[in-house]
A and B are shown apart, each in its own frame.
Chain A
Amino acid sequence: MAVEVIPVGLIRRKLEGKIPRYVDAAGLTVREFLAQLPIQSELVAFVVVNGQLVSRSHRLSDDDVIKLAPMVGGG
């Protein structure tokens, strides 16, 4: 069951060529999903699912679009 993954900025550079656009992640929490990625999960500051900012405990569903963005600036 596919989830579309859109990495942004630094996260995209880190994941370039290492994961497909669509992954089988429905049913996983965000935390579980990030743990599977070849990247330090702490670098992912913002997890946006279908346009909503979600916490690490959010559970993914089929056809979700998940955007992974870093924080670089700090205010």
Chain B
Amino acid sequence: MHGYAGRILRVNLTDRKTTVEPYDREIARKFLGGRGFSAYVLYTEVPKGADPLGPDNKVIVSTGPLSGTLVPGAGKTDITTKSPATGGYASASVGGLLCAELKYAGYDAIIFEGISESPVYLFIDDDKVEIRDAGALWGKGSLTVEEELKKELGEAFQIATIGPAGEKLVRYACISHDFGRQAGRGGVGTVFGVKKLKAIAVRGTKSIPIADVESFRQQARAMYKDCAESEALEVWQKYGTAGVTTWANEIGAFPTRNFQSGFFEQHERLSGEVMREAIVVTDKACFACPCPCGKYSHSKKHGVFVEGPEYETTALFGGNCAIADIEDVAYANYLCDELGLDTISAGNCIAFAIECFERGIISAADTGGLELSFGDSKAVFSLIERIAAREGIGDVLAQGVKHAAAVFGGNSADFAIQVKGMEMSGYESRNAPSMLLSYMTCDVGAHHNRSWSITYDLQVGRDAVSPDKAAKVIELQHIRPLFDCLGACRLQWVELGLGLDLYASILQALTGEERSWDDLLKISERVWNLTRAFWIREVEGFGREWDSPPARTWKEKVTTGPTQGASISWEDSQKLLDMYYRQRAWDENGIPSREKLAELELTDIVSL
């Protein structure tokens, strides 16, 4: 199987057994790999109604066919599970070097099953696979564990680990890798934690079979040349996503004070250029990437090194908690990284708590005496630690903002900024209807990375509620996650301008199979509908209500900034949703039609 290692590693943590099975060619044909393979395993192997924190749930760590090759950005690993945060589908992507090493060890994916009796980590050294005791690592931070394992096993090993937050089953615990990259969203780290799986350590020395080596080599060289010559490279190389902060405020999209506004009056203290000047030490890249968008930083104020902060962390801790000090945002980032928390969900939950406190819905009696106010960094740091430890109010926030709203009561559900139980990421969208629709319909909850369409809203008119906006969201929901199936980053395409047809062409050189980009998009649509079917199967009564935007969207107007006064009415959000469902050939409740499932060759596994 050119382009694949051809083997799946199955790890039963209950029985402490590992087996190797061949990668089914038909599954590779239909689902490609990465997120696609993982979605197939999740749907077909996790029994209906499985408790996300029970032994029947599985975690699939998957590479794609491009992973580990010399395609620019071929360093993405997918981690999929049934989400303990939402009860539905969770898939998180992590950059770095993990997927390359896993493939070189001879595995396209690892399927974790069962629950271990005691803490363990999975050791892989080519064909040598062992489930090793992790008692000495349990309780330690992610960065600490990665350093310790590399010291013990060797620098060549790639490590993925959870922190104490995952061990304590915080619902948005992440899996960390390469000292600052995370599979962040949906609680994938939580499921590692309940399985008592502390880490994966992998080293590989094999190679990946390529169908047409010379063609592959030439095409990869050409792609690298295109990246190097891209006029946008300078911006992304120097600033990474942190460069977005200023613009997000310019257009009123920067979440501020729990998404009350899209403009933070002190945003210039958090800008990409301030960050570069104040704390950035070096640029950091993932496997095979010519554009090191990662920024490795040193906060002298707090005495820590951290990769970041990325835009999302600056948005959710900076603007959203009104912290106007980039070093304090970096420290919040560091705490989340070491403790193993998704910075987006943590920042969102904390801002929610602050707003509840300022409104008098909760008080110092609820917070263990901690006074909360927007702009108070120390209180934010304290809450991060309490969430990871699940102490006091931290235990409430650890279960997500939807849960916290149910506990705090009052009208707090109106400003719990989430969709499907996942906390919204860093774009205030009352000024961008297609972006709001992206959040409403994202397959894991309120996450931006499946479809990011703010520039489209700006181009065609912010106020427009029109079928083309639904079409754009669908188009992006097929293109962007396809990269997660391929096992490659999409920045080289979306920001540096690499042509999409180049990926289809180089995939053909790799695998020997002729498929156009449109053929690959069909696979992506298949996966999208499969994960929709998973939600429908797993969540009783799942339907359009679960695609609802946060109530703040239509109940309140943006308070300040360039989009002051903006809101999107409930009626408009539902109009957009109807347009979206129609174009997807889903019924008015968001259920895929039988015809659509047949078209996508899903009727053999999905029955709705």
A interface residues, Cβ below 8 angstroms from B: 6, 8-10, 40, 42-46, 48, 51-56, 67, 69-75
Contact = CB atoms under 8 A, between A and B. Distances in A.
Nearest to B252: A42
B556 interface: no
- Majority DSSP secondary structure for residues of B touching A: helix
A73 B494 CA distance: 5
A51 B234 contact: yes
A72 B493 CA distance: 10
A55 to B, nearest CB: 5
A55 B455 CA distance: 19
A60 to B, nearest CB: 16
Interface string B521-543: 00000000000000000000000
Contact-size category for B: 35 or more
A40 B273 CA distance: 24
Contacts of A42: 250-251, 458
Given A42-B458, A73-B491, A75-B448, A67 B251 contact: no
Contact of A8 (B231, B251, B276, B427): B231
B256 to A, nearest CB: 17
A46 B251 CA distance: 12
A70 to B, nearest CB: 6
24 contacts: A9-B231, A44-B247, A45-B247, A46-B243, A46-B247, A48-B234, A53-B238, A53-B271, A53-B273, A53-B276, A56-B250, A70-B455, A71-B455, A72-B455, A72-B495, A73-B491, A74-B448, A74-B452, A74-B453, A74-B454, A75-B244, A75-B311, A75-B426, A75-B448
Contact of B459 (A6, A43, A75): A43
Nearest to A41: B250
Given A74-B427, A74-B448, A74-B454, A55 B459 contact: no
Contacts of B459: 40, 43
B391 to A, nearest CB: 32
A8 B544 CA distance: 40
B241 A52 contact: no
B567 interface: no
A6 B459 CA distance: 20
A6 B268 contact: no
Nearest to B268: A55
A16 B525 CA distance: 35
A73 B459 CA distance: 14
Given A69-B232, A75-B311, A53 B239 contact: yes
Contact of A48 (B235, B251, B494, B495): B235
A45 B244 contact: yes
A70 B427 CA distance: 16
Contacts of A48: 234-235
Interface string B264-278: 000010011100100
Q: Which of A52, A56, A69, A73 has the most CB of B within 10 A?
A: A73
B310 interface: yes
